[in-house]
Each structure stands twice: as C-alpha cells, then as structure tokens.
Amino acid sequence: MTPIHFLIPFVALTACALAETLKINGSTTVNLVVAEAAEILRAEQNLDIQVDTQGGSAGGISLLGDGLVQVGMSSKHLSAEDRAKYPAVQFRETHIGEDAVALIVSKDVWDGGVKALTKPQVRDIYEGRVMNWKDLGGPAQRIAFFNKEPGRGTWEVFVQWAYGGAKKAPQVSFPEVGGNEETRNKVGSTRGALSQLSASWADGQRIFALGIKGDDGAVIAPTPENIASQKYPLSRPLFILTNGEAQGAAKTLVDFVLSDRGQELVKKHGYLRLQDLK
Amino acid sequence: MTRAWSWLFSFVALAALALLVGIFVWQSGPVWRHEGLGYLTGAKWFFRQHEFGALAMIYGSIVVSLVALVLAAPLGWGAAVFIAEYLPPKARLAVKMLIELLAGVPSVVYGLLGILLLRNWIYEAFAPFDPLSGDTLLTAGVLLAVMVLPTIVTLSDDALRAVPAAQRRTARALGMTRAETILHVALPQARRGLGAALLLGIGRAMGETIAVFLVVGRQDNNLPERWLSLGPLLESGQTLTSKLAGSETNIGYGDPLHWAAMVGLGLILLLLTGGLTLLGTGLGRRTNA
Amino acid sequence: MRKLSDFLIATVAGVCALVAVGILVGLVAVIAQRGAPAMSWSFFTEQIRLVGAAGGIFWNLVGTIILLVAAFLICAPLALGLALVERVYLRSERMRRTLRTVLYTLNGLPSILFGLFGFIVFVQWCGWGKSWLIGGIVLALSMLPTVTVALIERLKAIPSKYVEAAAALGLSRAQIVWAVLLPQAWGGLITGSLLGLARAAGETAPIMFTATIFAGATLPTAIKDSPVLTLPYHIFILAQDSFDPAVGSKLWGAALVLLGLVFTLSLIALPSRLKIHEEADV
C-alpha cells in the first residue's frame, strides 16, 4: 500500500539496464558538435548518451569534478583554481577544435560605421565610461551591452584578452545572456547591441562580428585564416574533458570526434578543425 | 491500523516540509554571519568578490509584482464584478470554469509568449524612452499581470458571491439600482475577500520563476537612486526568482559562502511569499466567519 | 443620472470581463495557431533530433508522464493521511486550524524552492544525481497542499448523518473511515490530484535542477542518475536558444502539446468539480 510497493514493479517494468550511460555536460559552444556526434553514435552503435548544457563550460567542469558526469565540454582552459577545487580529479583535456570569440553587434551598429574596436575602447564600454555608439564613430544609439554569464567559456576568453584574466576583470552589472543562441537572438533584436559570441555564429545579416583594431591601426577580422594563424587574439580551444584517460563509451566518443567524420562536424558548425590550425 | 498509517504519512509529509524550511534557514547561515543585515540592505552582488547584497533583487521582485498588481487588479475586479453580479448562474459557472482552466497555462508557455511577442511589443512601444532592450522589469510585470489575472478574478468572484443574496434583494427592494447595490452593498462587504485576492495574487506573482527569468533581463545591481522613479521599469533587472533559476545556482554549490548566499535568497523568497499567503488566507477566511 | 451610472458600471464591468477572458483565450489561440503546423503523428512518436530542429517530442511526453505518475503515487497516501488526521483523528480544533494554516501557506510557496530542496537533499546529500524519482518527490510535495485541501473539503462535505448512522450500527472508527469516508473521499482525491497534476505538468523550476536534461534520456532504468526528458524543460531551453527558424513551429508545437496535457487533466476533473459546485451553491 505504501508508495514503495507501487514503485518497485514500476521500476522493474522499465527497460532492463542498457550498457553504461554516458553523461556529458558543459559548454553550449562545444555542445553543437558533441550533441550531433552523440546522435550519430546513438543511432549507429546503440550507445546511451545524455547531453546537457547546464552552466556552460564552468558547469561542465564542476559536474565532472563532482563525478556527476563522465565527460565535460569546455571552451576554455582549466584554471589552476579549477584543478585545486577538485584535487582528486585528474582532468584530461582533449583538444577537438578551435573557435574564436568575436564582439558582435547588431545591424544598425555595423551599418552605422563601427566595424572594429580597440582594446581600450572595449574596456571603456565594459566599465561604463562610454555609453553611446556616437563616441566610437557610430550611430547615435545607446550601447546595449549584453554580458555573457559568468562561467561561460566565451566570457572567460573575453576577459582574458581584455584584462588578463577573470580575476583581474572589474565587477560589472550588465544584462546577462546565457547560451550562444540566446545571445544571437538578443543582439539581433535589439538596437545598438553588443555582446561576446563565438565568431562562427555571426551570420552577417542581423549579427556582425567586429574586428580588433590593434595599436598600429590594423584591423584583424575573425576570419578563419586569422584565427588559424593566431593573429586574431580571441581564439579559444574546444575541449572534451575526462577524468583521467577516456575509457569505454567516453573513449568511443572522443575517438569519433577526433576522426575525420567528427572533425567534419566541427567544421560544419563553423569552428576550426585541428588540421586547420597547422 | 488506519490511524497508525494516517499519522505516519502525516508525519512524513510534515517532516519533509519542516526539513525544507529548516534547510533554507540552516544552509544560508554562513552568509548571514558574513554580511549580517547587510545581506538584506546591501545593493551590490558580486559573487567573485564575495560581496552579497540582495536589495536589488528584493526591489526587483517587489517592483514586478506591484506592476502586475496595478495592471491586473482593476481588470480582475471589474471582471469579477461582472461575473458575480451580472451573469446568470449557468453562464457564471461556465465562465468561471473557463477562467480556472486558463489559470493552468504553464509558466514556461507564458515565458515563450513573452520572449517571442511581448518583449518586442514593449521594445517598440517604448522606443521613445530609449530602453536598453525589450527585457525589462516592465515586461516581466506585464507578463505577470496576465498570469495572476485568473487568480484575482476567481478569488474576487468567490468573495463577492459570499455576500448573501438576501442583502442584494433587500437593496433592490429599497429601490437601489444594480450598480448602487454593487457599489454600496456587495463591494464593501466583500472588501476583505477582494483584498485577500490581491494578496494571494501578489504572492503568486512574487514566486513566479520561469516566465520572469526569460524576460526580465537578468541585470544585477540595477537599483535606482530614487525608489519611486519610473525609469527603472524600462531597464533590465533581477528578481529573487530569476537569480535562483540562473547559472549561479549551478556554479555556487562548491563554494559554501556563495551557496549560502543563494539559499539565503530562497529564504527571503520563502518568508515573503509565505507571509503574503498567510495574510491573504487569514484575511479571506475572516469573511466567512 | 442613476440610470446612467447603472449603465456605465455594467458596461465597465462587462468590458473588463471581456478583456480578461479575451486575453486568456487569445493567448491559447496564438499557441494553437503557431503550434498547429507542427502537429503530426511523427511529432508525437519521434524523439528530438538536431537540438530541436527535427524529430518529435515522444520521450519528452513520456518523461513528463513518468514524473506525473510518480508524483501522484507519492502524494496520494501523504494527502490521505493528512486529510484523515485533520478530519478524523485530531481532537482539538486549534490543532486542526494550525494544520490547515500550514497547508494554505505552503500552497503559495514558489515551486523553485521545492526544486532547491530536492537538489540539496537528494541530488547532493543522497548522491542520487539527477533522477526521475527526485522529480516525482518534489512535484508530489508541491501538489500536496492542493490535494490535501481538496480532500479535506470533500470529507467535510460528507453529511454527518452517514457517519452517525454507521456509528449507530456499531462500526469502529477504522471501519467508518473505510466504509463511509474513503469511498466518498475517493472522488475528492482524484479531483484534487488532477488539479495538482495539471499544475505540476507545466512546472519547470522544480525539475530543472533535479530530474530533467535536454537530450539523451529515454526510459529511466534505476533511481540514481536517471533523468528524464520533459516537455516544460524542452520548451524552456529552446525558448532561450532558438533562433533557428526550423525550431520555431516545433517549439510552439511542444507548447501546444503541453497546454493540451494540462487542459486535459483539468478537464477530466471538471465533471466532479461541477457536481461539488452544484452541491455547494444550494
């Protein structure tokens, strides 16, 4: 009569245990590749894979560290702090591709003349000293800066370039965006919008990727050549993380993503394959 | 036997609920020690620097709930008056059932409508005022207004129907028009119930999580200098619930102080909504005395 | 003059009612209109592919139903126990009032708090990870006040003459409960549960930390680390992230299906609720 008596036959009636379930969590950037790879492996090899994107790269690291998932996805390097937080975990980063973070703007800003920014200008915006695009040679429109959620790989790459690290970045308060799609959605539908986003997601119709103007005035745009040659400063590696050497289903996944077919997925979603980096 | 099982189950249920409240009190301990009352009055929330002030979020929660109420109350009361006083019994029942049905529309569906429709309407409609984007406290408030509308209508209708029919008949017999009966007989008597409907409506609005999360902008520390200014309505903000549904809940668990701060937000929310519901139910039941 | 104000009041009230009902019906109509293109047999029977842009919502629907069944099975005995204690076994009126007050207050508690509770106690302390069972527990707790109150009201409505007659016939208290009270209260349990489940079906906040993920789960096979896919969470994630037009109508379609589920649960409870209303409106 108790709930337990009802639940036991219920659980027993469900499908008998499949092979180990592979649980993955992490960055929305890497997710595009891994989720599709997982679908393929599920269909072809009958693997049971669960993918989630709670908390972005930081979520992937912490859930892997807590042992709640076997594979993490990250679009940033592990920090010393991350390793210190989970001393018992042997984080293994498997490089699967490269991506660049761009500063993206909405159409009205791009058409209004802003095609690149310098680092000092970016800092001014981030710290609230410049609030209107007209001060930067653009249209007279309020700067609507959407800051990526803390913990997102995209954000960390941004502050690494702009300030030298997450700890050195000043604490600011802007409206937040979470995943890549949400960022693209918001920037595309708001006038004067600016945010950080994976360069490959800028479609050139509603969202445009700004170039970085160096001290010499030269503009470096986030093109594949500039990213591969490391001229564009905001590039970041895409990782699959495991605790120790990947084994079992995790190894199958890693091997697949590193294979030609997997790397094609990387390219398909706009990122750079490992071979493109040579 | 039956008695023993009943007591056992009751005990399990009540223990679980007591555990819930207890956890929120206990696990938020560290942040109270760290910040003291500054946790409630501090306007800055910078989790990396371990600076935790919940005021901006309390402000956000209160503002969106008040906006919701200001919009929903007149409409809801007016609708309740019509349903309770002007509709024949069968029609009244039908409309009431319809509204209760519609009250069940899930929060996430409201959020979807908010993102894909409401947000752009507000952005375009208020363009002269130069809002940052369509995700503002006002957007959240308007969405909440629609969400609590059924609650206010239903409860207000109940309150009005609780006024005995005999009183209305007497008023009419004395020559009062229907409107006068409503204004001078029914409404004054139903005052408490109508107020209770408001309180319960605010309580629900304040506890609403997903819809608010999607359209409020999620900007921390946006506390205005003057409390009663209207400007902040067109800015993005953060509420207690939108913060809790966000990424910090996931990443905060490893850090005792950060986690305590998050749980503390839950505690504040619990006390606020619990208090409002208690007031509302107490008020509502006094009319049935 | 008085006639004018009479007319005005009636009109204003009528407009309010029209607007209120109009807004609510209108939003359902919008969802129906945008979600209709996605409705097809394959939508219901296929699983999500390409992050929502293709395929259907089969496992999401299954997962939601699993959570609802679990929630009902956990909630029912607890609600019954509480209702019987309140109506039959508690002697003092003050204790009864306290219990009812506790229940009403908990009824207004935001569901995210239940979600956090489940996250702390079951996901972390018990180490279960994300699990369908935690979802069931959390949803059961959040519907508990609704169901208990409905049961208590139903028990209150049983005419005392039945109980008196049974007692006069020499039935013990336990027998009275089983022979007289429970059969009548059964309807109240179902009605209250359906209302609670209708609300629980649409909840996202309590399950997003505790029971559901976005892709990859099918049927749970254990208690630990066995999340499910659910409709509300699916909509929640895609609502933030969807810019891809292909996702568009599928997203609305999922919303329509969820709405349909919620309305169906509410509507099944309708006949018995109408009966209670008629009994009460005497």
Minimal-distance CA residue of chain A relative to B253: A62
Closest CB to B86 among C13, C124, C204? C13
CB contact under 8 A, B9 and C104: no
Longest dimension (CA), chain B: 71
Which residues of chain C have a pLDDT value below 50? 281-282
CB pair distance less than 8 Å for B120 and A189: yes
- Round to whole Å and give the CA distance between A122 and B24: 41
C-alpha dist (Å) from residue B192 to B195, B278, B282: 5, 14, 10
Q: Do B217 and A175 touch (CB under 8 A)?
A: yes
Residue B223's pLDDT is what? 81
- Determine the pLDDT at residue C52: 57
Is C141's CB within 8 Å of B277's CB?
A: no
**Dihedral of CA C220/C226/C232/C233: which sign?**
negative
Q: Which of A5, A23, A48, A195 to mutate to test the interface with C (most CBs of C within 10 A)?
A: A23
DSSP state letters, B260-271:
HHHHHHHHHHHH
Average pLDDT taken over every residue of chain B: 87
On the 0-12 / 13-18 / 19+ scale of CB atoms within 10 A, C28 is middle
Q: Is the pLDDT assigned to residue A1 strictly greater than 80?
A: no
Element (H, E) at C67: helix C58-84
CB contact under 8 A, A175 and B247: no
| B91/chain C closest Cα distance in angstroms | 13
And the tokens for C70? 């679990």
**Which pLDDT belongs to residue C282?**
37
Token reading at A13: 């009636």
Q: Do C28 and B102 lie within an 8 Å CB cutoff?
A: yes
The answer to whether the CB atoms of B115 and C108 lie below 8 A apart is: no
Contact at 8 Å (CB) between A151 and A55? yes
241-280 of B, contacting C, C-beta below 8 A: 241, 244-245, 249-250, 253, 263, 266, 269-270, 273-274, 276-278, 280
Q: DSSP letter string over C187-217?
A: HHHHHHHHHHHHHHHT--HHHHTTTEESBS-
Q: What is the ipTM of this complex?
A: 0.89
List of chain B residues whose C-beta atoms are within 8 Å of the C-beta of residue A173: 219-222
Note the residue count of chain C: 282
Q: Which chains touch B (3 or more CB pairs under 8 A)?
A: A, C
Which residues face A51 on adjacent strands?
A: A24, C215
Closest CA to C264 of C4, C52, C64, C9: C64
Closest C-alpha among A100, A90, A96, A47 to residue A65: A90
pLDDT tens track for C3-43: 888 888 888 888 988 898 898 889 899 999 888 888 887 77
Q: What is the pLDDT of residue C246?
A: 55
Render pLDDT for A67-113 as a digit per residue (tens, 0 to 9).
888 999 998 888 888 888 888 888 999 999 888 889 999 999 999 88
Q: Are B235 and B131 in contact (CB under 8 A)?
A: yes
| CB-CB under 8 Å, C258 with B78 | no
pLDDT at B74 over 90: yes
With an 8 Å Cβ cutoff, is C108 touching chain B? yes
Q: Do residues C207 and C110 touch, judged by C-beta distance below 8 A?
A: no
Chain B nearest-CA residue for C14:
B82
Q: Which of C133, C216, C240 sits opposite A38 (nearest CB)?
A: C216
pLDDT tens figures, B121-158: 888 888 888 788 888 899 999 999 999 999 899 989 98
The pLDDT of residue A81 is 82
The predicted structure's pLDDT at residue C51: 58
The 10s digit of each residue's pLDDT in A32-58 is 889 889 888 888 888 888 888 877 888
Average pLDDT over residues A225-241: 85
Contact A41, A255 (CB under 8 A): no
Reported as type and span, the H/E element at residue A155 is helix A153-163
Are B50 and B264 spatial neighbours (Cβ–Cβ below 8 Å)? no
Interface of C with A in 228-257 (CB under 8 A): 237, 240-244
pLDDT, position B66: 93
Q: What is the pLDDT at residue C259?
A: 92
To the nearest whole Å, the CA of B182 is away from the closest chain C CA by 9
Q: Is B82 on the interface with C (CB under 8 A)?
A: yes
Is the pLDDT score of B91 beyond 80? Answer: yes
The shortest CB-CB distance from C110 to any of B5, B178, B269 is to B269
CA nearest to C182 within chain B: B2
The confidence score (pLDDT) of residue C139 equals 95
CB contact under 8 A, A150 and B123: no
- Kindly state the tokens that stand for A19: 């092979």
Q: Which residue has the higher pLDDT, B193 or A11?
A: B193
Q: How far apart are CA A152 and CA A158, in angstroms?
A: 10
Give the DSSP H/E element, type plus range, for residue A51: strand A48-52
* B153 near C CB under 8 A: yes
Check residue B193 and give its pLDDT: 87
Find the residue in C nearest to A48 (Cα). Answer: C216
pLDDT attached to residue C215: 72
The yes-or-no verdict on residue B240 having pLDDT over 90 is yes
For chain A, the chains sharing at least 3 beta-carbon pairs closer than 8 angstroms are: B, C
CA C220 to chain B, closest CA, distance in angstroms equals 23
Closest approach of chain A CAs to the CA of B72, in angstroms?
27
- What integer pLDDT is reported at residue A12 of this predicted model? 41
User: Across the interface, which of B9, B17, B113 has its CB nearest the CB of C30?
Assistant: B113
Q: How confident is the model at residue A18 (pLDDT cuts 50, 70, 90)?
A: very low
Whether residues A175 and B250 touch (CB distance < 8 A) is answered with no
Contact A36 C241 (CB under 8 A): no
With a cut of 80, say whether residue B1 has pLDDT above it: no
Cross-chain Cβ contact A59/B251 below 8 Å: yes
Question: How many contiguous H segments (helices) and E segments (strands) does chain C have?
Answer: 12, 4
Does residue B239 or residue B127 have the better pLDDT? B239
pLDDT of residue B286: 61
Round the average pLDDT of chain A to a whole number and report it. 84
CB pairs < 8 Å spanning A and C: 76
- For chain C, list the contacting chains (3+ Cβ pairs, <8 Å): A, B
Interface test with C, best of A4, A5, A7 (most C CBs within 10 A): A7
What are the pLDDT digits (tens) for B11-35? Answer: 999 899 999 999 999 998 888 888 8
The C-alpha angle B120, A27, A124, rounded to 5 degrees, equals 60
Inter-chain touch B46–A171, beta carbons under 8 Å: yes
Give the DSSP letter string of B37-88.
THHHH---EEGGGTEE--HHHHHHHHHHHHHHHHHHHHHHHHHHHIIIIIS-
Per-residue model confidence (pLDDT) at position C43? 78
- Closest residue of C to B102, CA-based? C24
State the nearest Cα–Cα gap between C47 and chain B, in angstroms: 21
pLDDT of residue A28: 82
Selecting from C78, C209, C258 the residue whose C-beta is nearest the C-beta of B13 gives C78
Q: Match 């072809």 to its residue by tokens.
A: A44
Interhelix angle C132-157/B2-27, rounded to 10 degrees, is 130
Q: Which of residues 140-169 of A touch B (CB under 8 A)?
A: 142, 144, 146, 149-151, 166-167
pTM: 0.84
Answer yes or no: do C225 and A48 touch at CB < 8 A. Answer: no
Cβ contacts (< 8 Å) between C240 and chain A: which residues? 178-179, 181-182, 185
Measure C235 CA to nearest chain B CA, in Å.
7
